[in-house]
Amino acid sequence: MRRLMLLLTLLLIQFSASAQKITFDRSTGKYTYFGVGLVGSQTKDSTYLKSLEWVNFNYKAPKEVIQVSDRKAYKIVLLGNFKTNVTKRDAYIGYRITLECRDGRLVYT
């Protein structure tokens, strides 16, 4: 009985800890992924700078991917694509990432 309760508790914690949500917009035909990342006691300015650092580290050509980099609004918008071969032919999947920096958290869509 204890094991069953422990298993149920762990499952409930897992589902409640998930802050990300994936929704499908029928009018645009696109999926939207939304989440909030907690960044401790960092200010929105330091979160913004760390986010730019992350973009520069993870992209070969960050200047081509960054569409908006507004330090006053603490917002970064990335527009890119990646290659996939799920089908027999290669395909490119486009994406848009919006990072909004706030004190103690990072909102991403």
Predicted confidence at residue 101, as pLDDT, reads 92
Whether residue 56 is contained in a domain is answered as yes
Predicted confidence at residue 11, as pLDDT, reads 55
47-86 burial code (b ≥16 CB/10 A, e <16): bbeebbeebeeeeeeeeebbeebeeeebbbbbebeeeeee
Predicted confidence at residue 81, as pLDDT, reads 87
CA distance 101 to 89: 38
Predicted confidence at residue 10, as pLDDT, reads 56
Predicted confidence at residue 88, as pLDDT, reads 77
Whether residue 79 is contained in a domain is answered as yes
Say what the pTM is. 0.73
pLDDT digits (tens, 9 = 90+) for 5-58: 555 555 555 544 455 677 888 888 888 888 888 888 889 999 999 999 999 999
Instruction: Please give the tally of structural domains in the chain.
Output: 1
Range of the domain at 30: 19-108
Predicted confidence at residue 78, as pLDDT, reads 93
We report the CATH number of the domain holding residue 58 as 3.30.530.80
Helix, strand or coil, per DSSP, at residue 104: coil
Whether residue 42 is contained in a domain is answered as yes
pLDDT digits (tens, 9 = 90+) for 78-100: 998 888 887 778 888 888 999 99
